[in-house]
């Protein structure tokens, strides 16, 4: 049954998209994104942002309807798209009526207006924008009407093309040594890809998707089904082997700069894995997690520094277990007073703990020992068989080993008795207690092990940078780590990796927009909580929890 198109909803969605785009323009984001080419001469990141608004509005208008007929989609999409343009047109016309608007809205520059009016004059541009956005709205709405056979290839074509364009820096780095100079020129610009490469990717992605749906997938699955147990094991071993080898050669392919980015992501993965034990496995909301990172870093600093503050001149490897041990000790020490606390109270106390550590690090009180705001300098580098690790690629392997160890430990613990105790604790503390689960040791082990991973990350961080300052250990780190767990999927190990790539890796690649980082961050978190609250790669339990309602309906259906 086709329901009547809800006009009020359509108007609301369209206007909302328009107002959001207006806001994004007014803070200057649109214009600064416009400086980044995606497809040279055709599309900038700013334009992509601008055009995705009416498209998304159209898409949302018809989403959730059981069956949309073409007429309704066209009307709804056009209305939503056109309404998206309205607030923007109002802005354009406002600049005509009040040319000195820039005094109060500093970001409303001629460039922004020219971007909004698609390069034409204000009046003509407004009309163009209206029509263009209406058309995009229709395109968005039609997505539900199109048969799968067209929609899927189209999504994958556009997705791969845009994804490749946004990450062109990575591909450029990887492909530079393989492709010749002339070929590079034909495919890549300094920022972005050429229309030629865009077209190639688009066509290839569409072709592959069609091939896959037209029998490729069937053949693949048939082959897989025909494999014997032994062959299946073998093929799993092979894919694990390929995975390990790729991880090992990754920094060689990526080059120095990107390896540094990956190192950063790796440290966050390490912290994420630790906090995931505390928050994801045991359900204890810890907002002061940066404290253990700081403790690991400072202990490593003091013990290995060759500067004035160094007290032992130890080697990295000797100091490492001490740094991790100190973090564990701090984790357990924090754990004891908060044993009886739950939820909000726990969050507030841990938040305070994180701040206390940072304030102590900055304070004059401890300045003679840990340097106050001047921090600790000349921290020792790790050496292996007399070989000093200095470059990002060296630290890559160190961090990789740390992450590998953390993944191993976390996954083993999750499936062991302790993991089940954590799960019981997370699900219901009272029931867990009645079942005879020792709450004290279960909680303290979560805090302690979680702190260990963070301390390890801190120790490596400190050796990697050679100097540390208290301002590196602010609340934002705790928030970042918590967010990446949530975005990835709380309690899920692959989720931590995905979350770190999205929240730490992606912003590094889009570094020129650092100004808007927190804004985008917030927007992403809000969007995630609405569209995919279980995270990008959720654990089975979280996934089911968020879809329990649907399941019930399904159950009700068969009864």
Partner 1 sequence: MALLEVNDIHTYYGNIHALKGISLTVEKGEIVSLIGGNGAGKTTTLRTISGLITPRSGGVAFDGADISQYRAHQLVSKGIAMVPEGRGVFARLSVTENLNMGAYHRNDKDGIAEDLEKVFQIFPRLKERRTQVAGTLSGGEQQMLATGRALMSRPDLLLMDEPSMGLAPVLVEATFETIETINKEGTTILLVEQNAHMALQVADRGYVLQTGEIVLSNTAKELQRDPTVQKAYLGIE
**From 4, 417, 530, 553, residue interacting with partner 1 (rule: CB under 8 A):** 417
Per-residue tokens: 498: 């995905």
Stretch binding partner 1 (CB under 8 A), from 48-56, 306-314, 399-407, 421-429: 421-429
Binding mask 540-559 for partner 1 (x = CB under 8 A): -x--xx--x--xx--x----
Residue 117 dihedral angles phi and psi, to the nearest 5°: -90, 20
Choose the stretch contacting partner 1; rule: CB under 8 A; options: 174-182, 271-279, 394-402, 413-421: 413-421
Shortest Cβ distance from residue 441 to partner 1 (Å)?
A: 8
> What x/- string results for residues 288 through 317 when contact with partner 1 is judged by CB under 8 A?
------------------------------
Of 227-235, 284-292, 348-356, 430-438: span binding partner 1 (CB under 8 A): 430-438
CB of 416 to partner 1, least distance (A): 9
* Closest separation in Å from C-beta 437 to partner 1: 6
Name the token pair of 454: 């963070």
Residue found by looking up tokens 């000790």 in the block: 329
Count of beta carbons in the 10 Å neighbourhood of residue 318: 12
Q: Are 262 and 250 in contact (CB under 8 A)?
A: yes
User: Between 202 and 422, whose beta carbon lies closer to partner 1?
Assistant: 422
- Pattern 105-144, binding to partner 1, x per CB under 8 A? ----------------------------------------
313 phi-psi bin (left φ>0, alpha ψ -120 to 50, beta other)? left
From candidates 66, 364, 430, 553, binder to partner 1 by CB under 8 A: 430
Nearest 5 degrees, angle CA 510-CA 512-CA 516?
A: 85
Backbone angles phi, psi at 308, to 5 degrees: -60, -35
Among 111, 122, 355, 433, binds partner 1 (CB under 8 A): 433
Whole-angstrom Cα distance, residue 80 to residue 86? Answer: 10
Residues in Cβ contact with 66 at an 8 Å cutoff, skipping those fewer than 6 apart: 1, 2, 3
Least Å from the CB of residue 427 to partner 1: 4
Q: Which is nearer to partner 1, 377 or 541 (CB)?
A: 541
The residues pairing with 44 across neighbouring beta strands, listed in sequence order, are 37
Tell me the C-alpha to C-alpha distance, in Å, between residue 96 and each of 54, 69, 89, 123, 352: 24, 40, 11, 9, 51
Q: Which residue stretch of 114-122, 241-249, 333-341, 423-431 sits at the interface with partner 1 (rule: CB under 8 A)?
A: 423-431
Task: Provide the minimum distance between the beta carbon of 420 and partner 1 in the complex, in angstroms, as a whole number.
Answer: 4
Which range of residues in 217-225, 436-444, 452-460, 476-484 is near partner 1 by CB under 8 A?
A: 436-444
Find the shortest distance in angstroms from Cβ 431 to partner 1.
4
Q: Half-sphere exposure of 548 toward its Cβ, with a 13 Å CA cutoff?
A: 4
Given a contact cutoff of 8 angstroms between Cβ atoms, the answer to whether 324 and 296 are in contact is: yes
Closest of 489, 346, 371, 502 to residue 425, by C-alpha: 346
Q: Which is nearer to partner 1, 291 or 446 (CB)?
A: 446
* 314 vs 305: CA distance, rounded Å: 8
Of 409, 239, 378, nearest to 306 by C-alpha is 378
Which is nearest to 519 in space by CA: 14, 16, 30?
A: 30
Nearest to 44 by CA among 126, 112, 102: 112
> If residue 388 lies in a helix (H) or strand (E), which one and from where to where?
strand 387-388
Q: How far is the CB of 552 from partner 1 (least distance, A)?
A: 6
Tell how strand 383-384 and strand 387-388 pair up.
Answer: antiparallel
Pick from 204, 191, 189: nearest CA to 159: 204
Alpha-carbon distance 358 to 470, whole Å?
A: 6
| Interface with partner 1 in residues 46-85 (CB under 8 A) | none
Least CB distance to partner 1 at residue 542 (A): 9
Toward partner 1, which CB reaches closer, 458 or 535? 535
Tokens encoding 83: 């309404």
Binding mask 524-543 for partner 1 (x = CB under 8 A): -----------------x--
Indicate the helix (H) or strand (E) that contains 299: helix 290-304
Q: How far apart are the C-alpha atoms of 88 and 110, rounded to whole Å?
A: 14
**Residue 44 lies near partner 1 (rule: CB under 8 A):** no
In the bound complex, what is the minimum distance in angstroms from residue 419's beta carbon to partner 1?
9
Binding to partner 1 (CB under 8 A): which residues in 233-252?
Answer: none
In angstroms, give the least distance from the CB of 410 to partner 1. Answer: 18
> Of 436, 531, 553, 559, which lies in the binding site for partner 1, with binding defined by CB under 8 A?
436
Q: Which of 329, 274, 320 is nearest to 297 (CA)?
A: 320
Figure out which of the listed residues 434, 530, 531, 558 binds partner 1, where binding follows CB under 8 A.
434
Give the count of beta carbons closer than 10 Å to the beta carbon of residue 185.
11
Q: Is residue 342 part of the contact set for partner 1 (CB under 8 A)?
A: no
Q: What's the closest the beta carbon of residue 482 comes to partner 1, in angstroms?
A: 20
Whole-angstrom Cα Rg for the chain: 27
Should residue 438 be labelled a site residue for partner 1 when binding is judged by CB under 8 A? Answer: yes
Q: Is 235 or 441 the residue whose CB approaches partner 1 more closely? A: 441
Identify which of residues 111 and 429 has a Cβ nearer to partner 1 in the complex.
Answer: 429
User: Among 79, 269, 399, 437, which residue sits at the site for partner 1 (rule: CB under 8 A)?
Assistant: 437
Greatest Cα-to-Cα distance within the chain, rounded to the nearest angstrom: 78
Pick from 6, 222, 308, 428 the residue near partner 1 by CB under 8 A: 428
Please count the residues of this chain forming the interface with partner 1, following the rule CB under 8 A. 23
421 binds partner 1 per the rule CB under 8 A: yes
**Binding footprint of partner 1 on the chain (CB under 8 A):** 417, 420-421, 423-424, 427-428, 430-431, 433-438, 441, 541, 544-545, 548, 551-552, 555
């Amino acid at each position: 049954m086709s329901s009547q198109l809800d006009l009020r909803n359509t108007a609301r969605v369209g206007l909302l998209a328009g107002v959001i785009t207006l806001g994004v323009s007014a803070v200057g984001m649109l214009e600064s994104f416009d400086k980044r080419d995606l497809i040279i001469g055709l599309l900038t990141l700013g334009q992509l942002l601008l055009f995705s608004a009416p498209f998304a509005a159209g898409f949302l208008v018809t989403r959730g309807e059981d069956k949309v007929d073409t007429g309704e989609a066209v009307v709804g999409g056009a209305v939503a798209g056109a309404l998206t343009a309205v607030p923007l047109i109002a802005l354009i016309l406002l600049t005509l009526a009040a040319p000195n608007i820039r005094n109060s809205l500093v970001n409303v520059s001629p460039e922004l207006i020219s971007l909004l009016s698609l390069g034409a004059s204000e009046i003509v541009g407004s009309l163009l924008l209206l029509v263009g956005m209406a058309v995009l709205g229709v395109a968005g709405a039609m997505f539900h009407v199109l048969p799968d056979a067209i929609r899927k290839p189209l999504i994958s074509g556009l997705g791969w093309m845009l994804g490749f364009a946004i990450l062109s820096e990575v591909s450029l780095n990887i492909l530079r040594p393989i492709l010749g100079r002339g070929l590079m020129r034909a495919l890549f610009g300094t920022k972005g890809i050429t229309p030629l490469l865009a077209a190639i990717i688009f066509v290839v992605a569409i072709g592959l998707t069609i091939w896959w749906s037209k029998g490729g997938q069937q053949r693949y699955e048939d082959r897989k089904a025909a494999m014997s147990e032994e062959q299946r094991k073998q093929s799993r071993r092979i894919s694990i082997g390929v995975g390990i080898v790729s991880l090992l050669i990754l920094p060689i392919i990526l080059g120095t700069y990107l390896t540094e980015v990956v190192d950063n992501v790796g440290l966050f993965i390490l912290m994420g894995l630790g906090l995931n034990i505390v928050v994801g496995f045991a359900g204890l909301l810890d907002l002061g997690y940066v404290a253990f990172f700081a403790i690991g870093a400072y202990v490593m600093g003091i013990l290995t520094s060759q500067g004035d503050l160094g007290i032992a001149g130890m080697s990295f490897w000797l100091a490492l277990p001490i740094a991790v041990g100190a973090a564990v000790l701090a984790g357990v020490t924090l754990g004891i007073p908060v044993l009886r606390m739950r939820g909000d109270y726990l969050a507030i106390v841990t938040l305070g703990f994180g701040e206390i550590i940072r304030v102590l690090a900055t304070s004059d009180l401890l300045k003679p020992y840990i340097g106050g705001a001047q921090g600790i300098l000349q921290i020792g580098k790790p050496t292996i068989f007399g070989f000093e690790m200095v470059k990002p690629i060296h630290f890559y392997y160190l961090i990789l080993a740390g992450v590998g160890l953390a993944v191993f430990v976390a996954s083993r613990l999750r499936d062991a008795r302790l993991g089940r105790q954590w799960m019981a604790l997370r699900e219901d503390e009272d029931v867990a207690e009645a079942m005879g689960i020792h709450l004290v040791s279960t909680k303290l082990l979560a805090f302690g092990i979680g702190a260990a991973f963070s301390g390890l990350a801190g120790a490596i961080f400190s050796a990697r940078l050679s100097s540390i300052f208290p301002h590196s250990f602010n609340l934002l780190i705790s928030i970042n780590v918590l967010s990446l767990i949530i975005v990835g999927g709380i309690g899920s190990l692959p989720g931590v990796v995905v979350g770190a790539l999205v929240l730490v890796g992606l912003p590094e690649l889009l570094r020129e927009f650092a100004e808007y980082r927190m804004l985008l961050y917030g927007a992403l978190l809000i969007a995630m909580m609405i569209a995919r609250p279980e995270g990008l790669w959720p654990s089975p339990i979280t996934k089911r929890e968020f879809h329990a309602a649907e399941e019930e309906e399904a159950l009700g259906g068969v009864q």
